[in-house]
Amino acid sequence: MCWRGLRSYESLLADLRVGVIGAQFLVAVLKSKQHTNPKGKLRRQYAAIPVRFTGQGKMQVLLLTSRRSRRWVIPKGWPIRHLSPGGTAAREAYEEAGLEGTIVSETPSGHYVYDKDLGGGTHAKVDVGVFLLRVLRQLETWPEQAERETQWFDPEQAAELVSETGLADILRTIRTAWPTTE
């Protein structure tokens, strides 16, 4: 029996009770339904590109490692209820990298699409709205500190290190996207 053939979660649970399908399948289905759109549309996440300037005025961006694959990424996550998209991006920067700062604009500086591994063999295409975050400071401790590494890079070097082509393109043009009033 496949998920598409079921009419509801109730019928799935009924099948589970009589042993037709396993609990692992149920967990995978519920997880995949949480972040996939039934019409095949892209899911949405929000991200921050953390930016600071050195004493010599050179721009740097912060990258961090993903938890599972240890790839270089930027802080990002699913929308958070009662927070704006920029607020969500800032919250993710705090949780994943211990950053405090200011979102430069409530309009995303760019978007990129990537294939999110949801576990259990499920994937979802995700459109990421990217916000620039002017970093005021990095805290000494933060929620995901033990799970990630962080490092500051020149934007062009950061573009070479990330896997997502669209994100690399945004990083290469970040100097021109930075507001001139800063």
End-to-end CA distance of the chain: 58
Q: Assess whether 24 and 47 both reside in one domain.
A: no
Ramachandran sector of residue 98 (left: φ over 0; alpha: ψ -120 to 50; beta: rest): left
Q: Are residues 114 and 29 in the same domain?
A: no
Model pLDDT, residue 29: 42
Predicted local distance difference test score (pLDDT) of residue 180 = 65
Scan for tokens 């004493």, then name that residue.
55
pTM, two decimals, is 0.76
What is the pLDDT, as a whole number, of residue 92?
Answer: 97
Do 131 and 168 sit in the same domain of this protein? yes
CATH of the domain at 70: 3.90.79.10
Same domain, 48 and 88: yes
pLDDT block averages, 10 residues each, the chain of length 182: 44 49 45 50 94 94 93 97 96 97 94 89 92 96 95 97 96 85 52
* Residue 11 shares a structural domain with residue 53: no
Any domain includes 22? yes
Residue 62 and residue 29 share a domain? no
**Is 108 part of any domain?**
yes
How far is the C-alpha of 47 from the C-alpha of 161, rounded, in Å? 17
Residue 62 belongs to a domain: yes
Please state the domain count of the chain. Answer: 2
Residue 182 lies in a domain: no
78 shares a domain with 22: no
d(C-alpha 172, C-alpha 137), whole Å: 24
Residues 21 and 110 placed together within one structural domain of the fold: no
- Same-domain pairing of 15 and 61: no
In a shared domain, residues 51 and 87: yes
Residues 27 and 102 in one domain: no
Residue corresponding to tokens 């694959």: 69
Domain range for 27 is: 3-35
Strand pairing category for 43-53 and 122-138: parallel
Q: Which stretches of the chain are assigned E, i.e. beta strand?
A: 43-53, 59-65, 72-73, 76-77, 99-103, 110-119, 122-138, 150-153
Dist. CA 47–CA 52, nearest whole Å: 16
Q: Which two tokens stand for residue 10?
A: 């109730």
CA-based angle 89:92:93, to the nearest 5? 90
Same domain, 103 and 22: no
Inside any domain, residue 139: yes
Q: Is 109 exposed, middle or buried (0-12, 13-18, 19+ CB in 10 A)?
A: middle
Q: Which conformational region is residue 62 in: left (phi greater than 0), alpha (psi within -120 to 50 degrees), or beta?
A: beta
pLDDT of residue 143: 95
At 122 the pLDDT is 86
Does 66 map to a domain? yes
